């Protein structure tokens, strides 16, 4: 019986660099499921038993086919009534909670246990009292084949992103009713435990940096000010324990972790992001990553509904997800054109004459049954892009998006906003709300007294919508300038040049090809500063501050072959792309209309020579634009950038949460 974490390491002497999600998947499949194939059990099937948290952990990293390949024939819920299978072994992957341990002991005790042998893996460190509870049950002890701490309790929702699944973090930590200290502490404890398991899984010891509270003797420091500090301290406390308890855990720092909260950037969660991925989740009302569409019936009857997942296994999605919607639409048209041009039957049909639209080409390809698989994927994305472009026209998003970005960059103000509200009275309530939230971030002084109320009345916002705008004030404590009543959401990087600008232009650094692609999240600049070792120490403190003589080198020094790539490419990095898209996932030789599969090969090969990882964790929810930036900077900096957060929120979800900060509602009560 082993109580130790497994000995694998992301720094193992292997020629192949493994990404964050690959390591998570390998640990679950190989260290946990495969390790149960010992002795006589190698040829037998097993039962996998999980609780509501660990089943989500598993499903984020592995598919059912992966689990079956490791000898699992049945997946069960710990709290559902289960059929006794006394001839089979069971693998328990559960949280170290008393109720879970009691349920496990109940399964395996008595004369005839539910299963022959139990291999037990805990998702995070198990308290000593629960270990003793297991050891004291002498009837169960001989039936335990393994007892280990997997220390893997995060949800890998992207190849370079994870969430801790604290969906109510904004409400619990920043809400107006903040008397429940126990609730705050519980939220931060769960978050810290799950973040720490990321570093336990990857065998990484981070410099733990965090957005520090501004010290001002004339102003009282609030609980909200200290949230990043408290979380950083809890994470560091957990990681310190791993240092001494996990075999082969590094004893010196191997990566960077920067802990922020949502106050660092209020604009990113509500502004329209014009990439394919963000537009899908913003406009199409997806269920997670699930898209439902109609396909022709094979029997010739009514069209059938089909569910597809927009995920990494789809090479077309992988190539286009971070592309501007206009770029994605162009590329899809080119792919469909090339696909048709290489098929003789299609060429004969196209001789009717004239240039064909993408829709015409789609219909033509649908007539070629021998190319069903290729057609299905291309046709799916042509349909999605078409829907998005139609919604952009119907909702007038181009004009709205232009005003949003002009406000953010200081090129528009009250006059332009009022003109828009008067001329575009048919704009949707949600879009007007998002516009007002952006305006409040850039022009906080316009919301002093009753001025803000008059503007919101002009926009015809409902009381709930007004709450969402006014609740931005709850983040003011994290601002560098609390003396301004609303400066908590005024991010003025270039105040002297432009009085009202929440972003400075980066056009000198990167050529912008597509309209409405000027906007970038604040974390883009912060990550670049982390990489260069240039984070201002008065704003971003460190739990384990390195020696001053080694500060610069520790931030830039990179292991093995990566050391040569960390500094030399910096000067040339700005020419790596002509658009603000993730070009590491864009094959240049794609001329057959369907060679997007090569993206999967290129994406992994680009990781082979990487520097130290950079982790960014945002308390209160991250956005798809921030996730995109992490992919982009991974290519630019030659360092894998991993984004973590309490949740991944699309604009409607974030707005719902903002409304709930001052209202006793459940999430289901609000529909935007």
pLDDT digits (tens, 9 = 90+) for 265-293: 999 999 999 999 999 999 998 988 999 98
Share of the chain above pLDDT 90, in %: 59
Whether residue 574 has pLDDT greater than 60: no
Residue 277 CB coordination number (10 Å)? 23
Whether residue 323 has pLDDT greater than 60: yes
CB 118 within 8 A of CB 143: yes
For residue range 391-422, list pLDDT tens digits in order: 999 999 999 999 999 999 999 999 999 999 99
Whether residue 152 has pLDDT greater than 90: yes
CA–CA separation, 481 and 7 (whole Å):
47
Whether residue 663 has pLDDT greater than 90: no
**Most confident by average pLDDT, 39-43, 331-335, 608-612:** 331-335
Mean pLDDT of 338-354: 60
pLDDT range class, residue 365, cuts 50, 70, 90: low
The pair of structure tokens assigned to 177 is: 């009713």
CB 597 within 8 A of CB 243: no
Give the CA distances from residue 649 to residues 84, 99, 212, in Å, rounded to whole numbers and listed in that order: 41, 31, 24
Alpha carbon 496 to chain centroid distance? Answer: 34
User: Looking at the DSSP assignment, which residues form a beta bridge with residue 257?
Assistant: 208, 615
CB 51 within 8 A of CB 25: no
Weakest-pLDDT range from 117-126, 294-303, 323-332: 294-303
For residue range 503-560, list pLDDT tens digits in order: 777 655 554 567 788 899 999 999 999 999 999 998 999 999 876 544 433 343 344 3
The average confidence (pLDDT) of the chain is 81
**For residues 221, 225, 226 and 232, what is the CA-based torsion angle, rounded to 10 degrees?**
-150
CA–CA separation, 577 and 599 (whole Å):
16
User: Phi/psi of residue 76, each to 5°?
Assistant: -125, 155
Whether residue 476 has pLDDT greater than 90: no
Share of the chain above pLDDT 70, in %: 75
The pair of structure tokens assigned to 469 is: 């705008």
Per-residue model confidence (pLDDT) at position 12: 42
CA–CA separation, 158 and 60 (whole Å):
8
CA–CA separation, 354 and 335 (whole Å):
18
Angle between the N-to-C axes of helices 451-458 and 414-423, in degrees from 0 to 180, rounded to the nearest 10? 30
* Residue bearing tokens 């292991």: 559
Per-residue model confidence (pLDDT) at position 167: 94
Q: What is the DSSP annotation of 436-463?
A: HHHHHHH-GGGGSTTHHHHHHHHTT--H
Per-residue model confidence (pLDDT) at position 354: 56
Whether residue 10 has pLDDT greater than 60: no
Alpha carbon 189 to chain centroid distance? Answer: 20
Mean pLDDT of 56-81: 95
């Amino acid at each position: 019986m082993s109580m130790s974490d497994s000995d694998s390491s992301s720094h193992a002497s292997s020629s192949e660099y493994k990404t964050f999600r690959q390591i998570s998947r390998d640990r679950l499949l190989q260290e946990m499921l495969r390790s149960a194939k010992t002795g006589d059990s190698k040829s037998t099937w097993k039962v996998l038993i999980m609780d509501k948290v660990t089943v989500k952990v598993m499903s984020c990293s592995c598919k059912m086919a992966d689990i079956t390949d490791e000898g699992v024939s049945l997946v069960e819920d710990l709290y559902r009534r289960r059929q006794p299978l006394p001839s089979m072994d069971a693998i328990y992957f559960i949280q170290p909670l008393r109720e879970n341990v009691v349920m496990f002991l109940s399964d395996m005790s008595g004369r005839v246990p539910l299963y022959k042998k139990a291999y037990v893996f805990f998702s995070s460190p198990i308290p000593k009292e629960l270990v003793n509870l297991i050891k004291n049950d002498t009837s169960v002890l001989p039936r335990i084949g393994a007892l280990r701490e997997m220390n893997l309790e995060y949800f890998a929702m992207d190849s370079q992103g994870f969430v801790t699944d604290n969906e109510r973090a904004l409400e619990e930590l920043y809400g107006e009713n903040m008397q429940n200290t126990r609730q705050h502490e519980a939220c931060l404890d769960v978050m810290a435990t799950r973040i720490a398991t990321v570093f336990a899984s990857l065998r990484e010891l981070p410099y733990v940096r965090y957005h520090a509270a501004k010290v001002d003797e004339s102003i009282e420091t609030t609980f909200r000010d200290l949230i990043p500090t408290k979380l950083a301290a809890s994470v560091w406390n957990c990681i310190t324990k791993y240092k001494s308890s996990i075999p082969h855990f590094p004893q010196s720092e191997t990566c960077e972790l920067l802990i922020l909260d949502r106050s660092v950037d209020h604009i990113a969660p509500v502004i329209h992001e014009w990439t394919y991925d963000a537009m899908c989740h913003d406009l199409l009302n997806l269920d997670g990553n699930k898209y439902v569409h109609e396909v022709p019936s094979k029997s010739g009857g009514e069209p059938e509904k089909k569910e597809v997942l927009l995920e990494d296994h789809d090479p077309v999605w992988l190539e286009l997800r971070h592309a501007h919607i206009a770029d994605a639409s162009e590329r899809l048209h080119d792919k469909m054109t090339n696909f048709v041009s290489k098929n003789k039957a299609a060429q004969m049909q196209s001789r009717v004459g004239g240039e064909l639209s993408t829709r015409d080409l789609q219909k033509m390809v649908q007539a070629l049954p021998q190319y069903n698989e290729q057609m299905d994927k291309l046709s799916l994305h042509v349909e999605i892009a078409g829907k998005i472009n139609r919604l952009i026209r119907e909702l007038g998003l181009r004009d709205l998006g232009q005003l949003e970005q002009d406000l953010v960059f200081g090129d528009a103000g009250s006059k332009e906003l009022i003109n828009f509200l008067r001329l575009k009275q048919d704009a949707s309530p949600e879009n007007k709300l998002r516009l007002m939230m952006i305006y409040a971030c850039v022009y906080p002084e316009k919301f002093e007294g009753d001025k803000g109320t008059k503007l919101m009345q002009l926009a015809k916002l409902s009381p709930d919508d007004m709450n969402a705008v006014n609740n931005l004030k709850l983040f003011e404590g994290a601002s560098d300038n609390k003396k301004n009543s609303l400066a908590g959401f005024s991010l003025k990087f270039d105040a002297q040049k432009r009085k009202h600008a929440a972003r400075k232009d980066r056009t000198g650094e990167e050529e912008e090809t597509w309209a409405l692609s000027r906007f970038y999240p604040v974390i883009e600049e912060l990550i670049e500063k982390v990489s260069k070792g240039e984070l201002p120490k008065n704003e971003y403190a460190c739990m384990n501050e390195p020696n001053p003589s080694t500060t610069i080198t520790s931030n830039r020094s990179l292991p093995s072959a990566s050391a040569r790539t960390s500094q030399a490419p910096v000067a040339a990095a700005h020419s790596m792309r002509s658009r603000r898209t993730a070009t590491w996932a864009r094959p240049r030789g794609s001329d057959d209309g369907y060679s997007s599969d090569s993206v999967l090969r290129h994406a992994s090969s680009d990781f082979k020579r990487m520097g130290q990882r950079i982790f960014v964790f945002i308390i209160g929810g991250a956005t798809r634009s921030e996730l995109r930036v992490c992919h982009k900077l991974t290519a630019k900096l030659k360092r894998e950038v991993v984004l973590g957060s309490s949740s991944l929120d699309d604009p409607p979800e974030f707005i719902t949460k903002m409304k709930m900060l001052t209202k006793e509602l459940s999430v289901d009560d609000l529909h935007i």
